[in-house]
């Protein structure tokens, strides 16, 4: 598969590190507005890739798919052009800046029969996958509640200009959907703040799906990076502490002991972040199988955010 990489920042670099190990793929173009540095030059040399400063100079006849990892404000017009060229697209979240953009891109991908994958790499995290498997195996039982906190202290350095809900909160919303089986939330309540950022920089969201309660905290003003998941049910609970990118990640499965004794715990530890690799191979698999169902993931996420932003509870 021949590829173009548009955007060589933090995320684009992570994507390329995965593709470097995939012998079935070839990078044809790397596109970024900044000046060439040694890292870009070395990658271009290794892949015999062409470095461009404008995506408009790409010869789309030479490629099969595009990885789009630009800042959110630049995503929509570029993604629109890529899908119009009938190329498969792996793009960073959020899928556009609003529901109208997200729906247009999704509809366009279905019309042109190409895969559109919105980048929610946390779904492919080792501990998250294990938690999902424990749910599937009925180790948790009937789920009572889910709490997710994914926060950092980037309020003065964040350059995405979209607020913590669309930025870091979208990941947690996607995970909440993942744990309950991508079902529609029946009710949503949200409260947010703008403390030091010109848009929301801290907020709490409360969801309900049937009898399951879900709580999400998204923030740019939590001075210590934190990722915490708690899933509690009739048979036990799952707790995830941290992410591998910050050090050792821990998952604790607590088996309920009746009537209220100390639970029997099993602990798992992960030190390597393979979420980017897992997501990449999932993207390739959807292309091979022509599985267009996943094209709607980014749109589903934006529908929830749109309800929150417009107070449609």
Is the pLDDT at 9 greater than 70, yes or no? yes
**Cβ contacts of residue 150 below 8 Å, gap of 6+?**
122, 168, 169, 171, 172, 217, 218, 226, 227, 228
Task: Say if residues 298 and 108 touch (Cβ distance below 8 Å).
Answer: no
Across the chain, mean pLDDT equals 95
Tell me what the mean pLDDT of segment 232-241 comes to. 98
pLDDT > 70: what percent of the chain?
Answer: 99
DSSP class of residue 65?
A: E
SS3 302: helix
Quick check: 288 pLDDT over 80? yes
pLDDT digits (tens, 9 = 90+) for 63-107: 999 999 999 999 999 999 999 999 999 999 999 999 999 999 999
Euclidean distance between CA atoms 239 and 242, whole angstroms: 10
d(CA 217, CA 172): 8
Inter-residue contact 139 to 237 (CB < 8 Å): no
Structure tokens at 105: 């891109």
Structure tokens at 95: 């899928």
Domains of the chain as residue ranges with CATH: 2-120+277-295 (3.40.50.720), 126-272 (3.30.360.10)
């Amino acid at each position: 598969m021949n590829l173009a990489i548009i955007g060589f920042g933090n995320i684009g670099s992570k994507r390329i590190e995965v593709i470097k190990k995939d012998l079935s793929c070839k990078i044809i173009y790397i596109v970024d507005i900044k000046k060439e540095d040694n890292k870009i030059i070395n990658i271009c040399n290794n892949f015999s890739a062409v470095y461009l400063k404008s995506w408009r100079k790409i010869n789309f006849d030479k490629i099969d798919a595009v990885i789009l990892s630009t800042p959110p404000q630049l995503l929509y017009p570029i993604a629109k052009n890529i899908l119009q060229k009938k190329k498969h697209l792996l793009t960073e979240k959020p899928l556009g800046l609003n529901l109208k953009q997200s729906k247009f891109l999704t509809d366009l991908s279905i019309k042109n029969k190409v895969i559109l994958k919105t980048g929610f790499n946390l779904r492919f995290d080792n501990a998250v996958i294990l938690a999902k498997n424990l749910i599937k195996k009925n180790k948790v039982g009937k789920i009572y509640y889910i709490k997710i906190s994914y926060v950092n202290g980037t309020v003065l350095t964040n350059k995405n200009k979209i607020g913590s809900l669309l930025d870091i909160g979208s990941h947690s919303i996607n995970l909440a959907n993942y744990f309950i089986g991508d079902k529609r939330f029946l009710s949503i309540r949200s409260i947010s703040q703008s403390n030091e950022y010109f848009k929301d920089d801290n907020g709490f969201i409360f969801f309900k799906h049937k009898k399951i309660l879900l709580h999400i905290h998204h923030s740019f003003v939590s001075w210590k990076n934190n990722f915490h998941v708690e899933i509690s049910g009739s048979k036990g609970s799952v707790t995830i502490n941290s992410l591998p990118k910050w050090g050792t990640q821990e998952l604790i499965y607590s088996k309920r002991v009746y009537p209220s004794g100390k639970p029997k715990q099993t602990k798992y530890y992960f030190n390597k972040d393979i979420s980017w690799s897992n997501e990449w191979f999932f993207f390739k698999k959807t292309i091979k199988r022509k599985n267009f169902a996943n094209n709607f993931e980014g749109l589903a996420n934006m529908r929830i955010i749109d309800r929150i932003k417009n107070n449609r509870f």
